[in-house]
Amino acid sequence: MDYKKLGLKCGIEIHQQLATKHKLFCECSAAFQDREPVFEVKRKLRAVAGELGKIDTAAMHETLKGKVFRYKVYMNESCAVELDEEPPHPMNRQALEIGLQIAVMLNCEIPEEIEVMRKTVLDGSNTSGFQRTALVGLNGWVDTGFGRVGITNVCIEEDSAQILKKDRKGVVYGLNRLGIPLVEIGTSPDIHEPEQAREVAEKLGMILRSTGKVKRGIGTIRQDLNISITGGSRCEIKGVQKLNMIPKIVEKEVIRQKGIVAKGKNVSSDVRRALPDGRTDFLRPLPGAARMYPETDCPPIQVTGRMLERIKKSLPEIMTDTEQRLMKQYGLGEELAKQVVRSGKAALFEKLANVSDAKTVANVLTKYLKQFPVPDEKLDEFFGALGKKKVPKETLEGMLKQLSGGKPVKDVVTSAGEGLSEPDVENVVRDVIRKNPQVMKVARPEKALMGLVMKDVRGRAPGSLVMKVIMKEIKKH
Amino acid sequence: MYSKRIESFLKRKKLKIGDMVTVTKEGRKISGLLMPQTVSGNPDILVIKLVDNGYNIGVKMEAGAAVEKGKGTEPVLVEEEAEFELGKTKTSGKLKFSAGKPKISLISTGGTISSRVDYRTGGVYAVKDPGEFLYNIPELAKAVNIRKLVTPFTKMSEDMEPQDWKQIARAVARELNSGDRGVIVTHGTDFLHYTAAALSFFLRGLTKPVVLVGAQRSSDRGSSDAGMNLLCAAHTAVSDIAEVGVCMHGRIDDDYCLFTRGTHVRKMDTQRRDAFRPINEYPLAKVWPDGKIMVKNRKHKKRDDNGKVKPDLKFEPKVAMLKTYPGSDPDVINYYISRGFRGFVIEGSGLGHVPVQAKKNWTSIIKKHTKDGVPFVITPQTIYGRINTSVYTNLRILYKETGAIPGGDMLSEVALVKLGWALGHTKDPEKVREIMLTNYAEEITSRTLVGTFLY
Ligand SMILES: [Zn+2]
């Protein structure tokens, strides 16, 4: 398809949860781990005249009439702020700084004063009837292989409450997600090829992850596409799960709009939902711009020159740059370098690779940790003790197994022997003799010793080496 | 608030709030609507509402920045809003109450509940026409006919003074006596319970409901409690409960309101929508927004539409409220007396004790001034419960020998208002004592009902 000729215009909007300690406007935990509600509150919302722009207030009243929203309250993750029973606390500075960092990385202009706004939301997903949001960057850009794509906005906003249940009686929401800081990035409709859309989404995601301060995993990032062709209409496609599906979704939407235009019909402006096979289905008509008015409970935030300087100085390295550097500096292959960076452990890798063998470290961080989880500090100690020595795969596995089983590093590394180091085996043998002096008094001490020593070094030192060392030690006695 | 410098600059450029402007700075252009700066913002920063997305951002006005009136038209969205905007001629008169419904009046005194945000400017202004309430609460028209909106003044409740209570009482009496079924008084919430107490004493011979109502969440949000509170207040105003009371959320849910007697209600939380709790008495009724009313306390006057209310507004404002606490020095009383104060409510500890230790002996000072004819009313600082005059020696001394007036289970705030009202009527200490010990508005209960605690 000739997308240029069809006049494809596509923009992307990304919502990404930030990995801050607490929520955007209160001190509740943003971990999103509370699962047992302690309380339920029932609320209604009213259409408020003057807020709704095009929507008829009377019609809105009818829609909301009798609708009861139920909210589940969680001990650590919701307070009076989420219940709209208390004004918001000052904005989470950590979230604000991450937002500004992302805006700077996307070449945005930064407002000199940030104004928190209320965006009207009447589906109950916000207890207040609005979402708090603030523009922290505008007029930025990212470069792609197809050309530059404008960034219209970088916003810091509150996540909405999560739908737990929908039934005849209405919707049940969980308040634990409400108020988790989100960054919203919107691009201009500068994307003109399906593949370019994937590239932009990938690049934005990569920049977000480069900060090391965004949440990871299912539900922490949401991507929407805005697509139109000449003669068609802007349709918003929600719920795009996989980056690789993006070109297909764009392509199918272009075909859909093209088909309607060919029949001489009008394409309606819809919100559509992405399906797993790349097709989309109708969700609802595209609403007009949301009503936006100032959040008078939040004072404006001054962005001083000094603050901006500090942010610019401490920008994180972009992940692709880190990959290149790890390849060059530590001799990692491209795939391994990528895996290290994507695991989010690049900083730990560098620390460990400086004292130990880089490839071993990279393999441990990307492959073994899932099976044998070991805390960072223990890994640090372990690789420090191991030094630059190269260890066979089975030996390494055995050691990690012991470490994750709770054995202290000194026992694992000294007893390791690695099947190679004779002095290590000597140490173990001497230790066993010292702790069990009675074995030396039996008829054939090597037999008893062998049993005791092998208990410690099995799988990491060959029996022949152990026997050789034992015989040597017995002779000394 | 913009700085003088910005203000005069805007004036010179003939720019006003709401105008389309283009700010040019360091080669960048920002176009949007000029917004007012809030009090907490930087007065040298211009707030611009961006045309494309509705966000506000701040642009610092400094050397090298230029502002011009924008050529383009205002964003479409904003024009549409203007049609919906309250207080504009376009909307006023469109929505009307029906003459067939029971007539009530609404006395608007200010506060969150009767103010509206101008979405264009972010400014707040008071509702002027009863019809404006119908935009947010169309159901009101099914319950009542708010025939008149009286605005004696517009104040935050924390700024109110006894003079203001009198104005409200006069307005209420005038409307009730000209045939209203009841009256709603909209009010800020902070000192709402003081006004409720004052009206309870001022409005003698009341035979119709007087319903005070406020909102804890501003009416410019979908989650505001204003709508349900007003709706319940309207149902209450046409009910048979002929009392002064406060009608606000009963629970944290948007479920029902409590109508609580004006002398037994207190704001018990800074922000919750169910902050107004009945104290030492059951609420008069539970009221649902659909009009259902469940009477919870039968001890209330019944409606008599032929009755006439007589405002009795004599009031002595020179009364003060003091609180005892560890180390509290009664010498402050001498200061107050020297400043012309004529009566005191003292929040005693526990059952109504005051410190009697030699150095800071409240009893001796109270005794001295009581002899000079200054009344001292003791109320419990525990809020709940009643004071006792005889279980301990110190109590017997305080009330029998010293001459302090026991406040029973009266709320301190209620006792303060009542004392001012009593002193407004007489200077005779014995008469004041008699008034304070007499029930005028069910302010003192005779039975402590255990279920009323933390209701
Ligand atoms: Zn919270």
Q: Which of B190, B220, B240, B312 is catalytic?
A: B190
For chain A, what is the domain count?
3
Does some domain include residue A310? no
Report the percent of chain A where pLDDT is more than 70. 94
Residue A129 to residue B221, Cβ atoms within 8 A: yes
As a whole number of angstroms, the distance between CA A396 and CA A360 comes to 9
As a whole number of angstroms, the distance between CA B249 and CA B213 comes to 10
Quick check: is B189 catalytic?
A: yes
pLDDT category of residue B96 using cuts at 50, 70 and 90: confident
pLDDT category of residue B395 using cuts at 50, 70 and 90: confident
Angle between helices A376-386 and A393-404 in degrees, nearest 10? 140
> Is residue B382 within 8 Å of B410, Cβ to Cβ?
no
| A360-374, B36-50, B112-126, range with the lowest pLDDT | B112-126
Which of A417, A437, A458 finishes a domain? A417
Does some domain include residue A311? no
Residue A48 to residue B77, Cβ atoms within 8 A: no
Residue A234, φ and ψ in degrees, nearest 5: -70, 125
As a whole number of angstroms, the distance between CA B64 and CA B46 comes to 14
Mean pLDDT of all residues in B76-86: 39
- Using the predicted structure, report yes or no on whether residue A55 has a pLDDT greater than 50: no
DSSP secondary structure, B351-414, as one string:
TTB----STT-HHHHHHHHHHTT--EEEEETTSSS---SSSSHHHHIIIIIS-PEE-TT--HHH
Q: Examine the domain organization and report whether A289 and A435 are in the same domain.
A: no
DSSP letter for B182, please: E
- Using the predicted structure, report yes or no on whether residue A50 has a pLDDT greater than 60: no
Q: Examine the domain organization and report whether A341 and A384 are in the same domain.
A: yes
- Using the predicted structure, report yes or no on whether residue A416 has a pLDDT greater than 60: no
pLDDT of the residue at A458: 66
pLDDT of the residue at A419: 53
Does some domain include residue A210? yes
Measured between beta carbons, which residues in chain B are less than 8 angstroms from residue A48? 136, 219-222, 224
Could you give the ipTM of this predicted complex?
Answer: 0.90
Q: Examine the domain organization and report whether A226 and A359 are in the same domain.
A: no
pLDDT of the residue at A54: 44
Does some domain include residue A52? yes
- Using the predicted structure, report yes or no on whether residue B85 has a pLDDT greater than 50: no
Give per-residue pLDDT as tens, A65-85.
778 999 999 999 999 999 999
pLDDT category of residue A56 using cuts at 50, 70 and 90: low
Measured between beta carbons, which residues in chain B are less than 8 angstroms from residue A103? none
- Using the predicted structure, report yes or no on whether residue A332 has a pLDDT greater than 80: yes
Q: Does B61 touch chain A (CB under 8 A)?
A: no
Quick check: is B148 catalytic?
A: no
Give per-residue pLDDT as tens, A265-318.
999 999 999 999 999 999 988 877 677 888 989 999 999 999 999 999 999 999
**Partner residue facing A113 (CB), from B45, B80, B273:** B45
pLDDT of the residue at A59: 63
pLDDT of the residue at A111: 96
**Partner residue facing A84 (CB), from B53, B122, B217:** B217
Q: Examine the domain organization and report whether A100 and A207 are in the same domain.
A: yes
CA distance B57 to chain A (A): 6
Q: Examine the domain organization and report whether A233 and A364 are in the same domain.
A: no
pLDDT of the residue at A456: 75
> Is residue A254 within 8 Å of A229, Cβ to Cβ?
yes
Q: Examine the domain organization and report whether A412 and A426 are in the same domain.
A: no
Q: By residue range, what is the domain housing residue A457?
A: 422-476
pLDDT of the residue at B209: 98
**Partner residue facing A296 (CB), from B35, B91, B122:** B122
Does some domain include residue A312? no
Mean pLDDT of all residues in A241-263: 95
Mean pLDDT of all residues in A131-136: 97
Average pLDDT, chain A: 89
Domain map (residue ranges) of chain B: 4-69, 82-311, 319-436
Higher local confidence (pLDDT), A419 or A68: A68
Q: Examine the domain organization and report whether A260 and A351 are in the same domain.
A: no
DSSP secondary structure, A216-266, as one string:
-STTSEEEEEEEE-TTS--EEEEEE--GGGHHHHHHHHHHHHHHHHHTTPP
Residue B84 to residue A83, Cβ atoms within 8 A: no
Does some domain include residue A156? yes
**pTM as predicted:** 0.85
Residue A112 to residue B59, Cβ atoms within 8 A: yes
Taking a contact as any Cβ pair under 8 Å apart, which residues of chain B between 170 and 209 contact chain A? none
The residue to which tokens 């099976």 are assigned? A371
Give per-residue pLDDT as tens, B302-339.
999 999 999 999 999 999 999 999 999 999 999 999 99
Q: Examine the domain organization and report whether A236 and A366 are in the same domain.
A: no
pLDDT of the residue at B77: 42
Side-chain-side CA neighbours of A332 within 13 Å: the count stands at: 28
Mean pLDDT of all residues in A197-221: 93
> B4-69 has which CATH code?
2.30.30.520
pLDDT of the residue at B119: 58
Q: How far is CA B295 from CA A45, A96, B143, B240, B241, in A?
A: 27, 51, 19, 10, 9
Give per-residue pLDDT as tens, B340-387.
999 999 999 999 999 988 789 999 999 999 999 999 999 999 999 999
Report the percent of chain B where pLDDT is more than 90. 74
Quick check: is B112 catalytic?
A: yes
Q: Examine the domain organization and report whether A353 and A283 are in the same domain.
A: no
B319-436 belongs to which CATH class?
Answer: alpha beta
pLDDT of the residue at A429: 87
> Is residue B336 within 8 Å of B365, Cβ to Cβ?
no
Q: Which residues face A71 on adjacent strands?
A: A41, A173
pLDDT of the residue at B93: 45
Residue B53 to residue A85, Cβ atoms within 8 A: no
Residue A42 to residue B84, Cβ atoms within 8 A: no
CATH of B82-311, one of 3.40.190.10, 1.10.3080.10, 3.40.50.720, 3.40.50.1170: 3.40.50.1170
| A77-91, A175-189, B93-107, range with the lowest pLDDT | B93-107
Measured between beta carbons, which residues in chain B are less than 8 angstroms from residue A122? 222
Q: Does B263 touch chain A (CB under 8 A)?
A: no
Q: Which of B49, B208, B267, B286 is catalytic?
A: B267
pLDDT category of residue B123 using cuts at 50, 70 and 90: low
Same topology, domains B4-69 and B82-311? Answer is no
**Partner residue facing A49 (CB), from B53, B135, B272:** B135
Residue A113 to residue B41, Cβ atoms within 8 A: yes
> Is residue B197 within 8 Å of B414, Cβ to Cβ?
yes
Residue A453, φ and ψ in degrees, nearest 5: -70, -40
Does some domain include residue A206? yes
Q: Which of B91, B112, B195, B324 is catalytic?
A: B112
Out of A205-219, A368-382, B179-193, give the one with best mean pLDDT. B179-193
Which of A302, A335, A359 finishes a domain? A302
Q: Which residues contact A39 (CB under 8 A, 6 or more apart)?
A: A72, A73
pLDDT of the residue at B122: 59
Which of A275, A302, A329 finishes a domain? A302
CA distance A159 to chain B (A): 17
- Using the predicted structure, report yes or no on whether residue B76 has a pLDDT greater than 90: no
